[in-house]
Amino acid sequence: MIASGREALGPGELWYRLPVRSRRAAAAALCLALLAAGGYTVLTRPEATGSWWQSDRQPQPPPDSTKPSATARRLPYPAQTARITFDRLAVSDRARRTFTVELRAASSAPLTVLKVDQGYEAVDLDLAGSSPVAVRPESPRTLVLKARVTNCERAPLRARSPFLNVTLRNDRARQELSVIPGERYADALTHAFRTLCGPDDSAAEPAP
């Protein structure tokens, strides 16, 4: 076997035999290739694809369900459409000091009557059954109120300009409407106070 008597140069010797400028260019090309390979790996990861460049975006807040929609904002407020008037008042149970008030509720737009109360501390008053009453245009409803005198000493002898607080709601808003039913209601309420809190003549025994 014939041999040259000289071993072949290794990769390291060949590298260092290259000019300095050639070695720098080769090293730069190798770095660029490694960076390109790393970027491709990140882009092809399932959790990163299509989302990593959007990580600085703020998530959109959910819609505020408490705000009325554009359609609801075009509706009038319920207090602008409601008409509440007094119908009648009747004493229901003198022993329990209870009486009943009936109102007439009408509206030019759909609404719901949620609650009715008043300003006398000595009287409890609210809708019978505490159930909301839906009122539609052209379909007035009767509101039945159950009332009870809780303290005759604090009940007025004369009801002067009594008012009612009516809580209304429609798709746009919830509102309280102060209603002054008028002198007919004031007279009926005064009569109820005097009937329920006055002396019970029927229980008095005849003098001997």
**Dihedrals φ, ψ of 105, to 5°?**
-115, 125
Highest mean pLDDT among 44-53, 100-109, 196-205: 100-109
The CA-atom distances, in angstroms, between 42 and each of 31, 32, 37, 54 are 17, 16, 9, 14
- More confident: 89 or 199: 89
Which CATH code fits 76-199?
Answer: 2.60.40.10
Give the pLDDT confidence of 98-154 residue by residue, as tens digits. 999 999 999 999 999 999 999 899 999 999 986 899 999 999 999 999 999 999 999
